[in-house]
Chains A and B, each alone.
Chain A
Amino acid sequence: MTLDVSWAIAWVRGTAQTVAEHRDELVELDRQIGDGDHGENLTRGFTAVIQRLDALEEPPAEVGDVLKLVATTLMSTVGGAAGPLYGTAYLRAAKATGAPRLDSAGVVALLEGALEGIVVRGKSTTGEKTMVDAWSPAVEAAVLAADAGLDPAGVLAAAADAAERGAEATIPMVASKGRASYLGERSAGHRDPGAESSALVLRAAAWAAAEATA
């Protein structure tokens, strides 16, 4: 099986929904180690994405078109660091997916593109208590799942599981990038909000894929 543009749209709608549902939780996580606006900013960004998607005269032709719309909208509307970080992630993911349908290798390429975007924009690596700590294990798990012959839904489920473990693993970390780094050692003991929202985004992708293949 492969994933097409209707999956990408379902993913984006699912992300908007899950981000809105977890808005308060993300705000609280960010309030502990950042400036408290992550849940608010992401909810505003994805609400704008849905509005722009609904306003399109014709549905996007390819997965990459959906991802590009998400990228440009988030960059314009989020207002915090998550805007350019997620924006660049979706933009690189869009560049990596120039086909109407994605097989397992295509899904891996999408995730690798997203991770590359976050690393390039944030100049961050693993262990710094950032989104990278969710995306990096997600990509590793996706590669293994694809190599093991799993279908795209299986690859995304593996990526989402790994992202959730990665977000959990940020709790004891001391932040060395972003606003949380101003807290130094006091940033330990809190889950990183960016890693948490990344896990939500990837879970939404897995759910949409499971729906598409059900």
Chain B
Amino acid sequence: MTASATARVALVLVSHSDQLARGAVELAAQMAPNVLLVPAGGDGTGGLGTSFEQVERALDLATAEGRSAVVLTDLGSAVLTTESVLDLADPELAARVRLADAPFVEGAVAAAVTAHGGADLDAVLAAAEHAGSTFAPTGDPGTPAAAVPSGEPAEGEAVVALRNPLGLHARPAAVLARMVAGFDAAVTVDGVNAASVLELMKLGAAGGQSLTVRSTGPEGRAALDAVVAAIEGGFGEV
């Protein structure tokens, strides 16, 4: 146990960008020096993309000496490439590897810190996957949604049905967030800060679902009317 990496679980960070993978390793390593962190970024020839062979090598290194490994990925092909490598890998090795459904940077940091403490594979995986809630701390006290000035009377509340068949996906969420940012008001949709694209997307609101909009502040009434009109208008999509 004299090596620098003494944790039982290693991390492999698969990104389309070599710099992004190395940067995430650097960041996580600062907080978890005893964890083996292996970057697997880029297409292997200096370009953006993912490389089967690079991911394969990284997993071999990470799982050496009986270690388990959690893999974090960025965009689509990083996931597909990792799954392909695991499909073709020795089943004994693949059984010691988990692919995390987690945000790349936050997941890496959370997983590394947990692995540093000597946790097992399931605990490290759970730490990575729980990191997603960093984006939308719904229900927690002290969230941005709760940053509405206290003591101010609520300017309004409305319940409105989401008409977009695909729900509140990236584009309408961005439209809504930009709109809300234009008002001197604090607006929430189903309890999350409507000025945050990520929080809106994380609601996972589906088409046909009813949304509760609340608004306070000097321009609270106007903001509420604008938001309700945008949702009722299907964000120009339907």
- Residue positions of A touching B, CB distance < 8 A: 37, 41, 72, 75-76, 78-85, 87-88, 91, 121-122, 174, 176, 178-179, 182-186
With both chains docked as a complex, state the minimum distance between the C-beta of A174 and any C-beta of chain B, in angstroms.
Answer: 7
Partner among A84, A179, A186 whose Cβ is within 8 Å of the Cβ of B84: A84
Interface of chain B residues 77 through 93 with chain A (CB within 8 A): 77, 80-81, 83-84, 87-88
Residues of B within 8 A of A81 (CB): 76-77, 80
CA gap between A182 and B81 in the complex, in Å: 20
Interface centre among B47, B77, B169, B170 (most CB of A within 10 A): B77
Minimum Cβ distance to chain B for residue A166 (Å): 21
> Please, which residues of chain B bring their CB within 8 A of the CB of A88?
84, 87
Q: Is the pair A41, B52 in contact by a Cβ cutoff of 8 Å?
A: no
CB pair A79 B51 closer than 8 Å = yes
Residues of A within 8 A of B81 (CB): 75, 83-84
Complexed CA–CA distance, A16 and B75 (Å): 27
Minimum-distance CB pairs A-B, first 4: A79-B49, A79-B43, A84-B80, A81-B77
Instruction: Tell me whether B171 is interfacial, beta carbon within 8 Å.
Output: yes
- Interface of chain A, main secondary structure: helix
Given the interface pairs A79-B47, A84-B81, A121-B83, the reply to whether A178 lies near B76 with Cβ below 8 Å is: yes
Kindly state the separation between the CA atoms of A91 and B237 in the bound complex, as whole angstroms. 40
CB pairs A–B below 8 angstroms (15 shown): A37-B49, A79-B43, A79-B51, A80-B50, A81-B76, A83-B77, A83-B80, A84-B52, A84-B77, A84-B80, A121-B83, A178-B76, A179-B75, A184-B237, A185-B171
Q: Which residues of B contact A91 (CB under 8 A)?
A: 88
Among A84, A122, A179: residue with most chain B CB under 10 A = A84
Residue of B nearest to A183 (CB): B171
In Å, the complex CA distance between A75 and B84 comes to 8
Q: Is B122 an interface residue (CB 8 A)?
A: no
Closest chain A CB from B165 CB (angstroms):
8
Check if A80 sits within 8 Å of B83, measured CB to CB: no
Enumerate chain B residues within 8 angstroms of A76, measured Cβ to Cβ: 44, 51-53
Within 25-76 of B, Cβ neighbours of A (below 8 Å) are at 43-44, 47-53, 75-76
Known pairs A75-B52, A79-B51, A174-B166; A185 contacts B237 (CB<8 A): yes
Contacts of A37 in B (CB 8 A): 49
Which residues from B are CB-within-8-Å of A41? 49
How many angstroms between the C-alpha atoms of A186 and B166 in the bound complex? 12
Contact A184 B48 (CB under 8 A): no
Cα-based distance from A83 to B43 in the complex (angstroms): 11
Q: Which residue of A lies closest to B80 (CB)?
A: A84
Enumerate chain A residues within 8 angstroms of B237, measured Cβ to Cβ: 184-185
Partner of B80, one of A122, A176, A185: A122
